[in-house]
C-alpha cells in the first residue's frame, strides 16, 4: 500500500464492505511476512472525516474491532463479486453491524495493527456491496418524477446523504437566484422525496445533497440535477418538471402512426444515422430546423432518401446517442464552427481544415454524443430553437421525429451508453457520483474509478445502476414508442443486466402501456476487454455469452474478413476478401507475400461463409483454411471461437459503422491505387452484399449506399460537420475535405496524402448514383425472399451449404452459397432454392456448382436492376458465370 510521509494513503480503498456483517480485505494489502491472524483489525468511522488511524485513541470518531472469519466469504457474495475470491473475510461486531446505515454516512477506514499497537496498514472501503444489501427495497421505488392527481412527486435515491432538499424555481424565476428550498423526506429504502402541487408544472429544480465525498475526504453540499430528469434547461443546468402524459406534448402523427413490426428480429435492416448529420447540410430543410429532430418530419432530400430505402427494404433507423450529452453547446447562438468558405479554400490534402475545427472545440455544435449526462432526457442541441431546448419542447420535437419515421415505415432504434458517464467525482458535469459517491462507478482494486471505456466506467452490476439502466430503456420504449436499443460496449454489462432489460420490456403491453415491449429489439457491442474481460467480475453480455437470449452482437469476424486488417492497424492498407487480398494485391508490405496472402484469404473466406449463416457455433462448414469440415466454434478469430451464436438473431452483420473508416474510405486505402472508380463502386456494392445477403440482422452506416467518405477520418466523434459530411444531393461524397484530425489520424497522414491529393479518388455524381441504385437492389433482394432471412438455426443448418468450399472448384476470392428450400420444412413458397455467387476478383469467373441446373435463372430483381454488367451473369447447367467484382443470385422456381 502507498504511504505518504509514513502514513497510509487513505485515498486508496482496497477493502470492500460486502454485507452488513462482512468486510473483504485483499491479502496483498497485508504487509509481507505478517500473519493476518496475529493482527488487530479495526474499523473507524466518523460523521465528518478526519480519521487518523495512527492515533492510540479515537478523538472524534468511533472504532470497532473486527475478527477474521476462517470460513471465508460466502459463496453468494463471491457469485456476485468473483473478483473478491481469495480476500480475507472480516466480521463486524454486532453493535457496529446494527448501525451500519448510520456508519455509512461518513468516513470509513479499516486499519491493521501489530499486537504492539503499531499501525502496519490502513485504507478506505468500497461500499456498493453493503449498500445493495441494506437498500434492496429501493429497487421497487419509482425514482425521478411521478404524477398523481395532477401533482408531481420527486424522488431521489441517496442512502448515504446526511440531508437532502429540493431547490425549486417557478417559470419566470431567475435561475441564478438560490431558488426556494424545500426539505425532503427520507424513507427506509434510502430514498428522499418531495411532493408538490399542479402549479409546479414547468418549474425548474435541482436536488441539494449533503454527503460525505471520499474523493475529498470531507462532507460536501452539492446542488445537482436529477439523474432521472425527463427534461432540462438549455445546457442542462436545471431539471424541468414535465408530465410526459400531457396531451400537448403528443404530436398527432406520433399518436396515430403505427409502430412498424418485424415478422422476426432477423428481418431487421438498420441504417445507422446521426441526427445532426441527417440534415445540417440539407438546404431543402428550413434553416432553423437543420440538424434537428424536426428535420425528419419535413419533405426534404433526406426524408425522400429514407423513403426510397424503406420502399426497397430498409426497415429501421438507428440513431446515434440522442440522450442529453455533456459535450455539445446547446444554444445555437453560442455555437462556433469555421466558415465553409474558409474550409473550402484549402487543398484536399491540407492539414488546415482540421486545425480550424480544433479552434472551435469550445462551443462546438458537434459530437457523436457518447458522453452521457442525463439518460432519460433528449439532447437539447437537436432542438430547432432555444425555446424548444428549454424544457418540454425537447419531448415534443423528439416525438415528432419518431412519429415521422414511423410514418415512413421505419422503426426507431436508440444507441444507449450505460457503460460510462461523461464525468465522475465532484466534477460539475458529474451527477451520479455527487449523489451517492463511490457507488455508481466501477472501481479498481485500489478504489479508483476504472476508465477502460475511455471514460468513467459505470458499474451496472450494482443494483441501482442496473435499475437506472432498465428504467431508462423502459421510459424510451413506453413514453416515446422507441422500437429497439443498441448498447454501446455491451460487454461491459452483465448478461443479467441485459436479461433484466429484456424482462422489463417484455412486461410492457399495448393495453396497459400503449406499446408491445416484446417487439423491441436489443443488440450491441459484445466486445471482451478491460477489467471485466473473460467474465472477471460477472458473466458478461459479450459474444459467446448470449446464446438463447435473442440479444444480438455485432459480427466483427465478417467485418474484418471483408475489409481486411483490423480497426487499430498501424498500416491501414491491410487487405481482405472484399478489398483485393491475393486476387488484386496493393503491394503494401503489411499484406505479406503471396503465400501469406493466399492463406489469409482462405481464412477470411471461412469467416465470411460463417457470417453468411449467422455465425452459428454449431454450423458444420467445409473450411478452406483447415481443409476439413469444422464447427463454427472451432474456427478461430484472434484466439476466440469465430462462431458463437445459437440463433441467427444473435448476430448483426455489417461492414462499416460510425466507428473507424467508412466503407468507401477503407476501399480507397486498401484497393490498388490504380483501381478505377467504376470498379471501386462495384466493390462497395459487393462488400455490402456480403453483409446484407446473410442469415442475420444487418446494419448499414448512413451514407454507405452513396459512397460516404469522412476524408479517411477513423474517429470523427468531434470532427464537426465538415468531416461528417452527408450529402443527399448525391453530388459530393465528402472525400478530399483535408487531412482528418491529427489526434486520431496523424500517425497515418503519410499514407493519406497521396490518396487525398489524387482527384481520381473522388467519385462523380454518376458514380454515387450507381452505388445508390446498387444498394437499393440489394435491399430488394433481401426483402424478396425469406431464404435470406431464415429465423432459426435449425433451418439454416438444414438448408444452407457452400458446395464448392474446400474443393478443387473453389477459385480464390469467390464464395458460392446454396440455399435449398426442398430440404426440411419450406420457409417460403416462391422458390425451390437459390444459389448466390460472390466474385470479389478482378476477373469474370465460371465455376461449377453441384446442384445448379438450367432451371436456375438470374433473380428478377437483378434482371430488372440498374447494373447492366450483372445482367451478363448466367447459369448454364452446373456452371455459373459471374462478372468481375459482382455478386449474382440464381433462383430455381418450384
Active site residues: 488, 525
Cell of 157: 435515491
Instruction: Identify the CA nearest to 722 among candidates 732, 830, 269, 329.
Output: 732
Cell of 644: 458463437
Paired strand residues for 540: 494
* Whole-number Å distance between alpha carbons of 642 and 632: 6
Contacts of residue 299, defined as CB under 8 A and 6 or more positions apart, other chains included, come to 284
Cell of 875: 447459369
* Whole-number Å distance between alpha carbons of 124 and 894: 73
* Whole-number Å distance between alpha carbons of 256 and 244: 17
**Helices 677-692 & 663-670, crossing angle to 10 degrees?**
130
* Whole-number Å distance between alpha carbons of 384 and 398: 11
* Whole-number Å distance between alpha carbons of 422 and 451: 11
CA 112, 115, 119, 121 dihedral sign is negative
547-585 burial: b if 16+ Cβ within 10 Å, else e: eebbbbbbbbbbbbbbbbbebeeeebbbbbbbbbbbbbe
Q: What is the DSSP string of 821-839?
A: TTSSS-S-SSEEEEEEEEE
- Edge-first strand listing for the sheet containing 316-319: 651-652, 552-554, 521-524, 484-487, 411-416, 316-319, 269-273, 698-701
Parallel, antiparallel or unpaired: strands 845-848 and 814-820: unpaired
Query: Coil, strand, or helix at residue 448?
Result: coil
619-647 burial: b if 16+ Cβ within 10 Å, else e: bebbbbbbeeebbbbbbbbeeebbbbbbb
Instruction: Identify the CA nearest to 332 among candidates 372, 288, 268, 374.
Output: 288
Q: Which residue has the cell 477470411?
A: 604
> What is the SS3 assignment for 789-824?
CCCCHHHHHHHEECCCCCCCCCCCCEEEEEEECCCC
**In which element (H, E) is residue 701 found?**
strand 698-701
* Residues 436, 157 contacting (CB under 8 angstroms): yes
Query: Coil, strand, or helix at residue 392?
Result: coil
Count of C-beta atoms within a 10 Å radius of residue 431: 27
* Whole-number Å distance between alpha carbons of 539 and 66: 32
Cell of 562: 471483408
* Residues 413, 201 contacting (CB under 8 angstroms): no
Phi, psi of 589 (to 5 degrees): -60, -25
Cell of 392: 418540454
> What is the SS3 assignment for 131-156?
HHHHCHHHHHCCCEEEEECCEEEEEE
Contacts of residue 721, defined as CB under 8 A and 6 or more positions apart, other chains included, come to 276, 277, 280, 281, 337, 365, 366
Paired strand residues for 165: 183, 208
Query: Coil, strand, or helix at residue 159?
Result: coil
Residue count (the chain): 894
615 vs 190, 486, 632, 694, 695, CA distance in Å?
A: 46, 19, 7, 10, 9
Amino acid at each position: 500500500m502507498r504511504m505518504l510521509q509514513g502514513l497510509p494513503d487513505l485515498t486508496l480503498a482496497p477493502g470492500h464492505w460486502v454485507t452488513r456483517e462482512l468486510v473483504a480485505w485483499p491479502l496483498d494489502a497485508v504487509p509481507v511476512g505478517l500473519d493476518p491472524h496475529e493482527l488487530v483489525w479495526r474499523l473507524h468511522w466518523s460523521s465528518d472525516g478526519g480519521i487518523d488511524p495512527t492515533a492510540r485513541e479515537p478523538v472524534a470518531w468511533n472504532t470497532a474491532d473486527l475478527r477474521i472469519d476462517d470460513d471465508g466469504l460466502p459463496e453468494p457474495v463471491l457469485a456476485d463479486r468473483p473478483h473478491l475470491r481469495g480476500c480475507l473475510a472480516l466480521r463486524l461486531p454486532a453493535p457496529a453491524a446494527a448501525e451500519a446505515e448510520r456508519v455509512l454516512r461518513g468516513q470509513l477506514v479499516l486499519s491493521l495493527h501489530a499486537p504492539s499497537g503499531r499501525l502496519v496498514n490502513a485504507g478506505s472501503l468500497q461500499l456498493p456491496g453493503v449498500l445493495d444489501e441494506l437498500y434492496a427495497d429501493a429497487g421497487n421505488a419509482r425514482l425521478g418524477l411521478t404524477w398523481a392527481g395532477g401533482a408531481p412527486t420527486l424522488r431521489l435515491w441517496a442512502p448515504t446523504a446526511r440531508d437532502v432538499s429540493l431547490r425549486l424555481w417557478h417559470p419566470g424565476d431567475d435561475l441564478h437566484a438560490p431558488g426556494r428550498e424545500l426539505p425532503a423526506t427520507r424513507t427506509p429504502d434510502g430514498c428522499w422525496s418531495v411532493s408538490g402541487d399542479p402549479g409546479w408544472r414547468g418549474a425548474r429544480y435541482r436536488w441539494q445533497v449533503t454527503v460525505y465525498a471520499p474523493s475529498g475526504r470531507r462532507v460536501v453540499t452539492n446542488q445537482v440535477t436529477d439523474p432521472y430528469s425527463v427534461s432540462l434547461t438549455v445546457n442542462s443546468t436545471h431539471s424541468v418538471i414535465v408530465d410526459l402524459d400531457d396531451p400537448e406534448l403528443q404530436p398527432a402523427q406520433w399518436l396515430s402512426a403505427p409502430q412498424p413490426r418485424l415478422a422476426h428480429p432477423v428481418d431487421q435492416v438498420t441504417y445507422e444515422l446521426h441526427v445532426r448529420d441527417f440534415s445540417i447540410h440539407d438546404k431543402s430543410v428550413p434553416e432553423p430546423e437543420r440538424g434537428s429532430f424536426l428535420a425528419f418530419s419535413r419533405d426534404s432530400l433526406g426524408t425522400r432518401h429514407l423513403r426510397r430505402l424503406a420502399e426497397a427494404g430498409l426497415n429501421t433507423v438507428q440513431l446515434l446517442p440522442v440522450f442529453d450529452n455533456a459535450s455539445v453547446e446547446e444554444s445555437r447562438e453560442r455555437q462556433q464552427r469555421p466558415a465553409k468558405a474558409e474550409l473550402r479554400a484549402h487543398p484536399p490534402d491540407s492539414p488546415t481544415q482540421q486545425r480550424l475545427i480544433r479552434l472551435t472545440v469550445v462551443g462546438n455544435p458537434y459530437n457523436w454524443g457518447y458522453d452521457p449526462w442525463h439518460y432519460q432526457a433528449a439532447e437539447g442541441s437537436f432542438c430547432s430553437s432555444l425555446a424548444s431546448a428549454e424544457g418540454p419542447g425537447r419531448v415534443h420535437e423528439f416525438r415528432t421525429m419518431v412519429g415521422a419515421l414511423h410514418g415512413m415505415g421505419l422503426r426507431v432504434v436508440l444507441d444507449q451508453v450505460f457503460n460510462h458517464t461523461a464525468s465522475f467525482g465532484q466534477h460539475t458535469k458529474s451527477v451520479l457520483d455527487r449523489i451517492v459517491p463511490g457507488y455508481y462507478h466501477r472501481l479498481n482494486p485500489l478504489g479508483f474509478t476504472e476508465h477502460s471505456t475511455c471514460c468513467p466506467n459505470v458499474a451496472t452490476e450494482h443494483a441501482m445502476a442496473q435499475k437506472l439502466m432498465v428504467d431508462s430503456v423502459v421510459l424510451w420504449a413506453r413514453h416515446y414508442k422507441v422500437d429497439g436499443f443498441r448498447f454501446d460496449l455491451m460487454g461491459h454489462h452483465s448478461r443479467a443486466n441485459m436479461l433484466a432489460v429484456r424482462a422489463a420490456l417484455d412486461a410492457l403491453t399495448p393495453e396497459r402501456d400503449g406499446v408491445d415491449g416484446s417487439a423491441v429489439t436489443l443488440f450491441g457491442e459484445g466486445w471482451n476487454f478491460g477489467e471485466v474481460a473473460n467474465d472477471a467480475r460477472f458473466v458478461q453480455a459479450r459474444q459467446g455469452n448470449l446464446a438463447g437470449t435473442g440479444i444480438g452482437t455485432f459480427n466483427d469476424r465478417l467485418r474484418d474478413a471483408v475489409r481486411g486488417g483490423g480497426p487499430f492497424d498501424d498500416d491501414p492498407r491491410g487487405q481482405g476478401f472484399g478489398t483485393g487480398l491475393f486476387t488484386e494485391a496493393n503491394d503494401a508490405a503489411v499484406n505479406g507475400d503471396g503465400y501469406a496472402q493466399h492463406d489469409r484469404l482462405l481464412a477470411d473466406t471461412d469467416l465470411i461463409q460463417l457470417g453468411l449463416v449467422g455465425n452459428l457455433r454449431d454450423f458444420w462448414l467445409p473450411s478452406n483454411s483447415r481443409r476439413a469440415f469444422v464447427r463454427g466454434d472451432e474456427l478461430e478469430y484472434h484466439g476466440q471461437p469465430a462462431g458463437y451464436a445459437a440463433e441467427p438473431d444473435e448476430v448483426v452483420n455489417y461492414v462499416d459503422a460510425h466507428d473507424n473508416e467508412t466503407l468507401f474510405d477503407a476501399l480507397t486505402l486498401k484497393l490498388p491505387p490504380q483501381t478505377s472508380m467504376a470498379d471501386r463502386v462495384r466493390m462497395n456494392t459487393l462488400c455490402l452484399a456480403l453483409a446484407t445477403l446473410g442469415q442475420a440482422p444487418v446494419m448499414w452506416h448512413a451514407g454507405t449506399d452513396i459512397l460516404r467518405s469522412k476524408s479517411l477520418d477513423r474517429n470523427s466523434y468531434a470532427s464537426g460537420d465538415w468531416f461528417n459530411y452527408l450529402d443527399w444531393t448525391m453530388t459530393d461524397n465528402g472525400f478530399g475535405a483535408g487531412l482528418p484530425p491529427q489526434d486520431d489520424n496523424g500517425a497515418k497522414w503519410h499514407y493519406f496524402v497521396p490518396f487525398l491529393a489524387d482527384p481520381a479518388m473522388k467519385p462523380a455524381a454518376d458514380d454515387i448514383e450507381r452505388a445508390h441504385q446498387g444498394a437499393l437492389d440489394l435491399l430488394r433482394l433481401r426483402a424478396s425472399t425469406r431464404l435470406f432471412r431464415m429465423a432459426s438455426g435449425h433451418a439454416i443448418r438444414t438448408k444452407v451449404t457452400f458446395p464448392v468450399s474446400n474443393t478443387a472448384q473453389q477459385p480464390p476470392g469467390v464464395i458460392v452459397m446454396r440455399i435449398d428450400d426442398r430440404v426440411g420444412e419450406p420457409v417460403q413458397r416462391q422458390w425451390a432454392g437459390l444459389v448466390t455467387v460472390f466474385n470479389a476478383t478482378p476477373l469474370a469467373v465460371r465455376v461449377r456448382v453441384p446442384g445448379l441446373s438450367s432451371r436456375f435463372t438470374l433473380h428478377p430483381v437483378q434482371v430488372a436492376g440498374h447494373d447492366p454488367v450483372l445482367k451478363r451473369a448466367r447459369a448454364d447447367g452446373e456452371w455459373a458465370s459471374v462478372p468481375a467484382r459482382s455478386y449474382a443470385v440464381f433462383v430455381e422456381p418450384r
